Amino acid sequence: MLRFEDVPRPTPGAGELLLRVHAASVNPIDWKVRAGHMKDYIPLPLPFIPGWDVSGVVEEVGPGVTNFNKGEEVYARPDVTHGYGGYAEYVVVKETETALKPKSIDHVHAATIPVAAATAWRALFNTAGLQKGQKVLIHGAAGGVGSFAVQLAKWKGAYVIGTASGRNQAFVQKLGVDEAIDYEKTRFEGVVHEVDVVLDPIGGDTQNRSWTVLKKGGILVSIVAPPSEEQAAKYGVRSALISAEAGSSLLTELAKVIDSGNIKPIVETVLPLSEARRSHKLNEKGHARGKIVLKVA
């Protein structure tokens, strides 16, 4: 259960920064961990503070920090496995998981980037090697990861097909998809063929039905469930399961792309920190349009 309460202000150790948090974004992992669904994969000390995404200002630098100074605006991906995440007024982060915040956006929008945009980037570019002119099917195109993935793939010059519910059709078209598929009305595997890359943030039946849309040699990248090696072999395609990692260099790269104006973080709802419980209830519905952000300062 989430409880809003006072805790001592943490102190940065070697190579760490203390941030005054301005905003923290909400990811499905936050409520999955809170509910105990991830206890076999991500063991956490209890009680813990959730929040893998923050944007704020450097309040204090720990010993040995060389890249950041007090007063700088930064964003980061805290290592919550120590028990201290971003749903707080102050958080300690490692220098190596922090970068200067994109200058063109505020903290609320910057806080949406470290998990969702970095996951989309790693899936599409580092893992799938998506190239200009290739065709990509992005499931869950309206969600936190999907809304970044659509924009990143278009920025790369790919042909983008996105799946979303009826409610989100106009939204994903506005994001820039070349084709939007309403998964409530149309079975995507009946209309999508010969794609180079499938990005799967849904798993289950959606993942199982995705093999046939890939061309030979294509790749299915899941961010939620390990794809079947037998199925990949049967269809002559590759597959991968990745997890979000965002160090300073990827966050710096993402800040550049955001500041170039090509990618816009989409914020659906902003709530005060005291309403973190409500933010989880909203996110647990699984039908996000962009991101939910907790505004702290």
Ligand X SMILES: NC(=O)c1ccc[n+]([C@@H]2O[C@H](COP(=O)([O-])OP(=O)(O)OC[C@H]3O[C@@H](n4cnc5c(N)ncnc54)[C@H](OP(=O)(O)O)[C@@H]3O)[C@@H](O)[C@H]2O)c1
| In the complex, least distance from residue 140 CB atom to ligand X, rounded to whole angstroms | 3
DSSP code of 125?
Answer: I
Report strand pairing: 159-164 vs 135-138.
parallel
Give min distance, CB of 63 to ligand X, in A.
Answer: 31
Query: Contact with ligand X (CB under 6 A): which of 10, 102, 143, 265?
Result: 143
| Chain residue whose CB lies nearest ligand X | 143
Among 88, 202, 214, 293, binds ligand X (CB under 6 A): 202
Binders of ligand X among residues 36 to 95 (CB under 6 A) are none
Q: Closest separation between CB of residue 115 and ligand X, Å?
A: 5
Q: Are 256 and 234 in contact (CB under 8 A)?
A: no
Name the minimum Å distance from CB 270 to ligand X: 15
Question: In the set 25, 98, 127, 168, which binds ligand X (CB under 6 A)?
Answer: 168
Q: Phi then psi for 181, rounded to 5 degrees? A: -115, 125
Q: How far is the CB of 59 from ligand X (least distance, A)?
A: 28
CA atoms of 86 and 106, how far apart (whole Å): 17
CB-CB neighbours of 224 under 10 Å: 16
- 51, 86, 146, 218: which one binds ligand X (CB under 6 A): 146
Residue for token pair 């820039």: 176
State which amino acid sits at residue 159. Answer: Y
Least distance CB 72 / ligand X (angstroms): 26
Q: Is 41 helix (H, G, I), strand (E, B) or coil?
A: coil
Alpha helices (runs of H) in 100-168, residue ranges in sequence order: 107-110, 113-121, 144-156
- Single-letter residue type at 217: G
For CA atoms 177, 181, 187, 191, the dihedral sign is: negative
177 binds ligand X (CB under 6 A): no
Rule CB under 6 A: choose which of 115, 192, 266, 293 binds ligand X.
115
Choose between 20 and 277: whose C-beta lies nearer to ligand X.
277
CA distance 18 to 73: 12
Site for ligand X in 276-295 (CB under 6 A): 283, 286-288
Q: Does 29 bind ligand X (CB under 6 A)?
A: yes
DSSP structural state of residue 38: T
Within residues 219-278, the interface with ligand X by CB under 6 A covers 223-224, 242-244
Q: Is residue 128 involved in binding ligand X (CB under 6 A)?
A: no
Q: Site for ligand X (CB under 6 A): which residue of 98, 127, 151, 206?
A: 206
Minimum CB separation of residue 132 from ligand X in Å reads 24
> Least CB distance from residue 225 to ligand X, whole Å?
9
Supply the DSSP string of 66-95, one letter for each residue. Answer: -S--TT-EEEE---GGGSB-SSSSEEEEEG
**What is the spatial distance between Cα 288 and Cα 270, in angstroms, rounded to a whole number?**
13
Name the segment binding ligand X (CB under 6 A); options: 74-82, 85-93, 101-109, 113-121: 113-121
Length of the chain: 297
Binding site for ligand X (CB under 6 A): 27-29, 115-116, 119, 139-140, 142-146, 163-165, 167-168, 183, 201-202, 206, 223-224, 242-244, 283, 286-288
